[in-house]
Structure 1
């Protein structure tokens, strides 16, 4: 679909407002008062100058018509148990409900089956693609109709081990079909969840339906602050001050979710006006680093150094699958040249930094292996602790025995924010 990735659009200046939006567990749940947007662009136009920030991950949804979304990026969550909100749909992993269209889009389809039930899809990047901070956006054409509920949102990577809402939830975009001209952005955390979720709504500047064309829905996320925007125009900022004495739970990696629900306590239920099938069409999902912070995993080519200055090294400069990864005194050799890719991989000699055997247990060795797109080769950068985290295992890269010395091999271990898990990336 696209041969080059543009830098992300800068946010145009606009008034911001913090409102209280009603919400329930999965995802947020009620409308807030509209926030008028003076001078907002129409139908996805981008008017701002490009900002300097690196693309660290994207899915452009290129592929054959009818094929599944990339399994290295996306999981299918399935079931018809109401999802905490008395929803009607049965989420499936069938291609009838989620598939690439062959034109560079992912299409999620909500259907009414011949027996009167509803099916749809819910896709997550949990344990595969997880990020903290940066600019996160998706270009989406939403569905329409009473009882239809599309969403692009995020949950904390420690969910469900840390239960909702303590894990945190960031709703980047939600729409309920009876409000075709309005979208919502909300956070949920301990003490401000459900009907007390904190957020705001954005009204189409011409009052048109958001389902008429594609729009870009985004957040700009930094420690202690999240700003929502539509088509490059911000409409709300929430900071630590807005949660009062309650915990701010957004300084950690989150995973992304795309889904279309049918019915539920907030949108209400389909009626005689609702037409099926309804489709949410996603052009792309992209994650950019914060300007100049080197966050994410996209950072060019060069050395990766531990907090004491020693280098991440391919043992013996060997290129065979299974070669151990170690620490070594920096020497400028090819064995210490790493490319940190926009696809979440970290590469040397054209091969990938890999958790041996796809293991998830603490102490599993880290090695060099032919790149294969699996979760064992995905790494995210924690902008706060500077750790390299493998989302599949939920664990971080560190030297064995926590010894930062020449020749020490590497492993994954429980993430603890310590200096031995801090890595300086190239760029």
Structure 2
């Protein structure tokens, strides 16, 4: 699939960048806890990266991306970066001192590194509130020719990108912190609209940059913050480093369609990565990395936190994504297509070869789920559930397909076991008895396995008597 570089950067900032002075001061402490929640705010989500040295980041909080692309997504992650992402502790691990390390490494002619993204994909301010996304980060401590090709980033993508990979930049991208080639500068960028051109001047985006206050970006930790302000009209987007505002954009700058496409979905997921090479570092340093580029300089992340202004309940701790915009509401006895969920955790949507064509939900493993809103069972109780499933899992890998009402952690009302069916597109229909159900419910199809590997694909399901 062809896809434009999703994070090219404007060369118009180079004069500002080259004029920035590096002011050496004593580096800040390497580890600090997530700051106390300010008065008038509530903590939505955070990770302090506490844990033993060499251990991975929390699997409950983060998805680890691997390889050179999403399955079916643009090559080289759409940016031209050359590294292969891995889940190896040498590339991705806690340091035992309260920090996450993402370390690019070169072995022979290959570079490896790491990229993670939050399981939650619903980060969005409620109406009348401000959402604050913040991370305390030290960029890789390398400069000059030795840094050519280094591309650390802390950013957010609109949730509908998951499983689609063709809807960028319309779904929105907030680059909270980016840096290339060891330059003492932080970039903040918005991507939106259409590519090329459009309201966000793609594929460059709308951005600004500045030197890190005090100590250089590479020699010390700094706090990088993005705010989405829905408490004012028009809404505002703001970028900060160490509490100092350096970039802002107003809703009034954008047409209604562009603004709605990037803000009207249910929210964003957050990403941390260190790429090597690609469009942005190449634009400022020629073809990168080079023979002079050194290996093994990590980005350190002390914490990532999300706050919301105002009182009241905060968004729940569930990752969600609605790629179809489907508002829900379906007859329980109809054929309910799996990809028509209203929310999900841990899965992807892919083309199916099953009868009738279309799409199925895949990459399903232990703990994943799909949510379907307003499923109407009616006054006559449904007592059976059946689902169209396929599995290419190896021998010994199996799991349960479960039905729950109201919550992904509610007691199952029914389930069935599935193991290898002969291939990920070798489909069969499996029935199961369920506790009788009437009325209208939020239905969760959940997946449980004793192994971490993916074990099933789901095409459709239905309820009956």
SS in structure 2 of the partner of residue 209 of structure 1: coil
Asked if residue 117 in structure 1 is aligned to residue 117 in structure 2, the reply is: no
What does residue 27 of structure 1 align with?
Answer: 7
Q: Is the 1:77–1:122 contact (alpha carbons within 8 Å) kept by the matching residues of 2?
A: yes
2:369–2:408 contact (8 Å) kept in structure 1: no
Asked if structure 2 preserves the Cα contact closer than 8 Å seen for 1:29 and 1:194, the reply is no
What's the counterpart of residue 175 of structure 2? 171
Q: Following the alignment from structure 1 to structure 2, what is the Cα–Cα distance between the partners of residues 96 and 222?
A: 38
* Other-structure match for 1:260: 274
2:67 alignment partner, one of 65, 72, 79: 79
Aligned pair partner of 1:211 in 215, 218, 223: 218
Q: Is the 8 A contact 2:10 2:207 kept in 1?
A: no
Where structure 2 has 5 or more consecutive residues not aligned to the other structure, the ranges are 69-74, 126-130, 283-287, 318-365, 376-402, 412-436, 446-465
Are the counterparts in 2 of residues 31 and 201 from structure 1 also a CA contact under 8 Å? Answer: no
| In 2: Cα distance, 1:357 partner to 1:164 partner | 28
The whole-number CA distance in structure 2 between the counterparts of 1:123 and 1:358 is: 17
TM-score normalised according to structure 1 size = 0.61
**Residue of structure 1 equivalent to 2:308:** 289
- Structure ranking higher in strand proportion: 2
Q: Counterpart of 2:252 in 1: which secondary structure?
A: helix
How far off is 1:200 after superposition?
A: 1.0
| Maintained 8 Å contact 2:8/2:204 | no
1:183-237 deviation per Cα after TM superposition (whole angstroms, max 9, x unaligned): 101111112253341121122345x530101011011112332111011111111
Task: For residue 26 of structure 1, report the CA deviation from its aligned partner.
Answer: 3.6
Aligned mates of 1:99, 1:370 — CA distance in 2: 33
SS in 2 for 1:131: coil
Residue 224 of structure 2 contacts residue 240 of structure 2 at CA under 8 Å; is this kept in 1?
A: yes
CA distance in 1, matches of 2:44, 2:86: 30
Partner of 1:130: 122
> Counterparts of 2:311 and 2:11 in 1: how far apart (Å)?
35
- The whole-number CA distance in structure 2 between the counterparts of 1:250 and 1:367 is 26
Match in the other structure for 1:88: 82
**Distance verdict in 2 for CA 1:412–1:118, change over 3 Å:** same
Partner SS for 1:118: strand
CA distance in structure 2 between the partners assigned to 1:357 and 1:183 by the alignment:
37
CA RMSD of aligned residues (A): 3.5
CA distance in 2 between partners of 1:212 and 1:59 (Å)? 23
* TM-fit CA distance, 1:254: 0.1
- Counterpart check, 1:198 vs 2:201: no
Q: Choose 1 or 2 for highest CA Rg.
A: 2
How far does residue 357 in structure 1 lie from its aligned partner after superposition?
7.6
The 1:30/1:156 distance shift into structure 2, 3 A limit, reads same
Instruction: Give the aligned partner of residue 57 of structure 1.
Output: 45
Deviation digits for residues 46-105 of structure 1, max 9, x if unmatched? 9xx955311121111111111111111111112234222221101111111101111111
- The alpha-carbon distance between structure 1 residues 53 and 245, as it changes in their structure 2 partners (threshold 3 A), is closer
1:15-51 CA deviation, whole Å, 9 max, x = no partner? xxxxxxxxx63434235534999xx9976699xx955
Task: Assess, with a 3 A threshold, how the Cα gap between structure 1 residues 41 and 297 changes in structure 2: closer, same or farther.
Answer: farther
Alpha-carbon deviation of 1:411? 3.7
Contact 1:91-1:121 at 8 Å conserved across structures: yes
**Whole-angstrom CA distance in 2 between matches of 1:137 and 1:107:** 17
Find the aligned partners of 1:247 and 1:226 in 2 and give their Cα distance: 14
Aligned to 1:187: 190
Shift of 1:129: 4.8
Q: How many residues align?
A: 294
Query: By how many angstroms is 1:366 displaced?
Result: 2.5
Indicate conservation of the 8 Å contact 1:41/1:231, yes or no: no
Provide the secondary structure at the position in 2 that maps to 1:241.
helix
Residue segments in structure 1 that go unaligned for 5+ positions in a row:
1-23, 299-355, 372-399, 414-427
SS in 2 for 1:211: coil
- Secondary structure of 2:218's counterpart equals helix
- Alpha-carbon distance in structure 2 between the residues aligned to 1:169 and 1:131: 13
Specify the alignment match of 1:221 in structure 2: 228
Is 1:366 the equivalent of 2:406?
Answer: yes
The normalised TM-score by structure 2 is 0.56
